[in-house]
Amino acid sequence: MKRVTSVDVARLAGVSQSTVSRTFSPESNIAPATRDKVLAAAETLGYAPNAIARSLITNRTNIIGLVMANITNPFYPYVLERFIAQLQQSGWQALLFSPAPDQDVDDVLPLALQYRVDGLIITSATMSSEMADECARQGTPVVLFNRYIFGANVSAVCCDNVEGGRMIANLMLDAGHRHLAYIAGNANTSTNIDREKGFMDRLRERGVSDVVRAQGVYSYESGYELALQLLRENPSLDALFCGNDIMAMGAMDAARSELGISIPNELTIFGFDDIPSAAWPVYSLTTIRQPVERMIEKTLQLLFERIEEPDKAPVLELIPGELVRRTSARLERVS
């Protein structure tokens, strides 16, 4: 069947084609009677406006590109769902780009730019400063979510990961834990760097320097294997901080199923993120909750500001996390 066009609607409604276009534009001021006539004709013909054609006229696609790697991490599907919901509530659409496991985010950004999205939000991945400059040169504003790059021409919104790490160090020491360990997430990410920095710096400030460490990645398997290794090599360990929740869940399963360790009586475990499954009774994970809704709201605010004011200076926004007390951690001293 021939595709119905705005010309067909204009002919049936007895108006000009430009009137049909303006009727479907949210910024237009069309007389109510004219609008009703156009909408009735559109319904009769089964017409839907062509967003791509409209973007050629307005130079806006009304689409935000979401670049998200590591989408198997349970934290990020939840973030994606909330981003899409908030964008649609604001009248925008989202287009998802996901790098393959062997790709960097820089590999997919040229494709995202080809789609002429009005802005880009990059989550769970880190772009290079060179690609940030290329996005700026093409007039596509970028905001990083849960990541940042010093010196790049992009804004970023993160949980205050340094303060979260410091909070966990204080909780461990205040509860009387003395044999401590940290299982790190992906080494080149600002989230892991900052969480570890806050944790280690605070321990040193309080006179503790003997901390066991293992380098991992943000996955259940990594948490499981490294916790097993650390606990076998260091049987006196009594407190473990994992770089994120999914690693902490792997560590808990390894400690209980492989070594028969009681949590939290013999071993305290902390995570970071507060993904939905952290609250499951089988884990009941004590963790730092990332304020996802506030982070998303601030990310979109900064992005929309840069769309309207391209020369606006980039900012780094840090939002405090919140301790969620559950049963995986002993937080009181044993008399």
C-alpha closest to that of 244 among 198, 298, 196: 196
- The angle at the Cα of 310, spanning 308 to 314, to the nearest 5 degrees, equals 110
Whole-number pLDDT of residue 18: 82
Residues 168 and 268 in one domain: yes
User: Which residue ranges of the chain lie beneath pLDDT 50?
Assistant: 56
Whole-number pLDDT of residue 255: 97
Residues 67 and 132 in one domain: yes
Q: Is residue 115 part of a domain?
A: yes
Whole-number pLDDT of residue 53: 56
- CATH assignment of the domain containing 275: 3.40.50.2300
Whole-number pLDDT of residue 218: 92
Residues 69-111: pLDDT tens digits? 777 788 888 888 999 999 988 888 888 888 777 777 777 778 8
Residue 84, domain extent: 63-159+291-321
Q: Is residue 335 part of a domain?
A: no
Q: Judge if pTM exceeds 0.85.
A: no
3-state SS record for the chain: CCCCCHHHHHHHHCCCHHHHHHHCCCCCCCCHHHHHHHHHHHHHHCCCCCHHHHHHHHCCCCEEEEEECCCCCCHHHHHHHHHHHHHHHCCCEEEEECCCCCCCHHHHHHHHHHCCCCEEEEECCCCCHHHHHHHHHCCCCEEEECCCCCCCCCEEEEECHHHHHHHHHHHHHHCCCCCEEEEECCCCCHHHHHHHHHHHHHHHHCCCCCEEEEECCCCHHHHHHHHHHHHHHCCCCCEEEECCHHHHHHHHHHHHHHHCCCCCCCCEEECCECCHHHHCCCCCCEEEECCHHHHHHHHHHHHHHHHHCCCCCCCEEEECCEEECCCCCCCCCCC
| Domain stop point among 43, 58, 73 | 58
Residues 142 and 175 in one domain: no
Whole-number pLDDT of residue 214: 97
- Total domains in the chain come to 3
Residues 54 and 78 in one domain: no
